[in-house]
């Protein structure tokens, strides 16, 4: 029974942190005139900045997927890869970010391709 409670606590923490990030994004959407692209860039850069300050690691350790799945987690992943790659020099810093995120980027491209084959996109009717 203890394993189930541990699993439930992990899900709860992920839900709370991921939900808090999404709530902040929804507040920004509702109360500002920022475009969705700018909001995405803001959250990605927030993940980069929090990783540079060493804060995002604690958030990932606490919430797991609740902190890594949102777009801020992608910024965290890019910054972490760049910092690890920087130990090998400037070229390592440039390629480290891409190699750290390559699995996620590849999966996104592959799934987008598969779903584009399955579904037929249609324009919105005004």
pTM recorded for the entire structure: 0.76
Task: Tell me what the mean pLDDT of segment 63-79 comes to.
Answer: 89
| Residue-level pLDDT at 23 | 94
Give the torsion sign (CA, 63, 68, 72, 78): positive
| Mean of all residue pLDDT scores within the chain | 89
pLDDT digits (tens, 9 = 90+) for 21-57: 999 999 999 999 998 889 999 999 999 999 999 999 9
Contact present, 50 and 56 (Cβ < 8 Å) = yes
- 126 confidence band (pLDDT: 50, 70, 90): low
Alpha helices in 32-121 (DSSP H): 36-52, 56-63, 65-68, 71-85, 90-118
Coil, strand, or helix at residue 85? helix
Q: Is the predicted pLDDT of residue 110 greater than 90, yes or no?
A: yes
Contact present, 75 and 84 (Cβ < 8 Å) = no
Task: Tell me what the mean pLDDT of segment 88-105 comes to.
Answer: 85
Please give the full DSSP string across 105-122, using - where no structure is assigned.
Answer: HHHHHHHHHHHHHHS---
Would you tell me how many other CB atoms lie within 10 Å of the CB of residue 97? Answer: 22
| Residue-level pLDDT at 124 | 67
| Residue-level pLDDT at 49 | 94
């Amino acid at each position: 029974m203890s394993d189930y409670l541990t699993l439930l606590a992990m899900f709860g923490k992920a839900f709370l942190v991921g939900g808090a990030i999404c709530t902040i994004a929804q507040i920004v959407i509702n109360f500002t005139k920022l475009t969705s692209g700018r909001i995405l860039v803001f959250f990605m850069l927030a993940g980069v900045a929090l990783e540079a300050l060493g804060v995002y690691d604690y958030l990932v350790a606490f919430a797991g997927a609740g902190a890594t799945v949102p777009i801020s987690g992608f910024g965290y992943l890019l910054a972490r890869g760049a910092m690890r790659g920087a130990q090998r020099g400037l070229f390592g810093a440039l390629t480290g970010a891409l190699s750290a995120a390559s699995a996620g980027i590849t999966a996104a491209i592959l799934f987008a391709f598969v779903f584009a084959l399955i579904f037929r996109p249609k324009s919105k009717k005004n």
